[in-house]
């Protein structure tokens, strides 16, 4: 089993603790979303796993072994850390060739991953002519090169166009379905919610959560129910009679917080309140995340990067 194991991992830069006593495991067969505000330690953790930075204390292993001891590591672990890592003066294909050759990966894999990531037509162009989205695809191509069992991607959807975002979502789902270990960092909540099964959340280098995504949301955000009616007075009274509090919104609908649609539907129907619309509002990852990090975030009210 190839999982990523992080044990009591700590990394200090001077006096600042970028990663603080972190322990978690990323398991195969599911997509693990790696969340946290900027500066929370996500990228540092990934570099520590790859043996690029040395931990102050603790260990990080892949399949039970430190990364640096892996024989031909690209066959075991594929990583995208920075879309700008490819030299601008090299062609995309040559960039991948240098990586493939060093790990004795067959040359045909270079063409395969170029096809798979949709940049085959640009393969013989210099990387400096690539858009950010194409660079991301090239970085993902490099990560897939050795057909690795473990894949780590740092903000892979940065700069991707809408088609690209759908593509990466399906790619991540497929990689996990093939039994690979997939760790994807992001600060885009809706994006992460669309592909992650499991979440590891960091704040100021510390582990804030390590739970399945659904549980994470349900534990933090109570569902609510959205109703539209022609008889507001009747609706309010029947809800009040059962201890529910309805809030009216400007565009004419009501929301009932901390309530399930099954209960509210029965209540209003039994009372004969005319209903135009009735729907469940599930909690979103964004709400759950903001609830969790409200107290922890280094930069509160951090704007979402596009």
Q: Among 2-10, 57-65, 85-93, 287-295, which window interacts with another protein (CB under 8 A)?
A: 85-93
DSSP 8-state symbol, 65: B
- The least CB distance from residue 25 to another protein, in Å, is 21
- Rounded Cα distance between 24 and 7, Å, is 7
Give 102 or 190: the residue with its C-beta nearer to another protein: 102
From edge to edge, which strands make up the β-sheet containing 206-212?
A: 77-80, 150-154, 181-186, 30-35, 198-203, 206-212
Residue with tokens 């930069």: 299
Window 86-115: contact mask with another protein (x via CB under 8 A): xx-xxx--x--xxx-xxxx-----------
- The least CB distance from residue 86 to another protein, in Å, is 7
Give 20 or 154: the residue with its C-beta nearer to another protein: 154
- The least CB distance from residue 34 to another protein, in Å, is 17
What distance, in Å, lies between the first and last C-alpha atoms of the chain? 36
- Rounded Cα distance between 178 and 152, Å, is 15
- The least CB distance from residue 52 to another protein, in Å, is 4
- The least CB distance from residue 188 to another protein, in Å, is 21
Which residue in 4, 9, 22, 81 binds another protein (CB under 8 A)?
81
Cα within 13 Å of Cα(97), Cβ side: 8
Alpha helices in the chain, H assignment, sequence order: 42-49, 92-102, 107-116, 132-144, 162-177, 189-195, 213-220, 232-241, 261-270, 285-293
Report the sign of the C-alpha dihedral through residues 32, 33, 38, 43, in that order: positive
Q: Among 76-84, 172-180, 181-189, 276-284, which window interacts with another protein (CB under 8 A)?
A: 76-84
Q: Is 23 in the site for another protein (CB under 8 A)?
A: no
Parallel, antiparallel or unpaired: strands 198-203 and 246-248: unpaired
Residues 130-159, interacting with another protein (CB under 8 A): 142
Give 20 or 53: the residue with its C-beta nearer to another protein: 53
**C-alpha pair distances (Å), 57 with each of 9, 125, 159:** 6, 43, 35
Give 96 or 160: the residue with its C-beta nearer to another protein: 96
- Rounded Cα distance between 220 and 96, Å, is 43
Residues 47-66, interacting with another protein (CB under 8 A): 47, 50-54
Size of the site for another protein (CB under 8 A): 33
Hey, is 31 helix, strand or coil? strand
Give 77 or 297: the residue with its C-beta nearer to another protein: 77
Give 13 or 299: the residue with its C-beta nearer to another protein: 13
Task: Give me the residues that bind another protein (CB under 8 A), please.
Answer: 47, 50-54, 67-68, 70-74, 77, 79, 81-82, 84-87, 89-91, 94, 97-99, 101-104, 142
């Amino acid at each position: 089993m190839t999982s990523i194991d992080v044990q009591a991992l700590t990394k200090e830069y001077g006096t600042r603790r970028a990663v603080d006593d972190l322990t978690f495991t990323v398991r195969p067969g599911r997509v693990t979303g790696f969340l946290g505000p900027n500066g929370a330690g996500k990228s540092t953790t990934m570099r520590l796993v790859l043996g690029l930075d040395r931990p102050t204390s603790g260990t990080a292993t892949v399949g039970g072994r430190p990364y640096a001891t892996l024989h031909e590591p690209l066959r075991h672990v594929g990583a995208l850390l920075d879309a700008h890592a490819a030299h601008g003066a090299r062609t995309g294909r040559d960039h991948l060739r240098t990586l493939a050759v060093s790990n004795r990966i067959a040359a045909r894999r270079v063409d395969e991953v170029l096809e798979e990531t949709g940049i085959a037509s640009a393969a013989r162009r210099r990387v400096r002519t690539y858009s950010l989205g194409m660079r991301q695809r090239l970085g993902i191509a490099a990560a897939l090169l050795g057909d690795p069992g473990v894949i780590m991607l740092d903000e892979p959807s940065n700069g991707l166009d809408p088609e690209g975002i759908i593509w990466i979502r399906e790619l991540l789902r497929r990689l996990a379905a093939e039994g690979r270990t997939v760790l994807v960092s992001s600060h885009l909540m809706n994006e992460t919610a669309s592909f992650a099964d499991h979440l590891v959340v960091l704040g100021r280098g510390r582990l804030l959560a390590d739970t399945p995504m659904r549980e994470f949301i349900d534990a933090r955000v109570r569902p609510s129910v959205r109703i539209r009616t022609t008889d507001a007075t009747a609706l309010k009274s029947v809800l009040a009679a059962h201890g529910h509090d309805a809030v009216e919104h400007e565009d004419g609908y009501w929301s009932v917080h901390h309530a399930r649609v099954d209960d509210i539907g029965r209540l209003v129907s039994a009372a004969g309140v005319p209903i135009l619309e009735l729907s469940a509002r599930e909690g979103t990852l964004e709400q759950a995340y903001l609830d969790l990090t409200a107290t922890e975030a280094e930069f509160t009210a951090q704007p979402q990067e596009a």
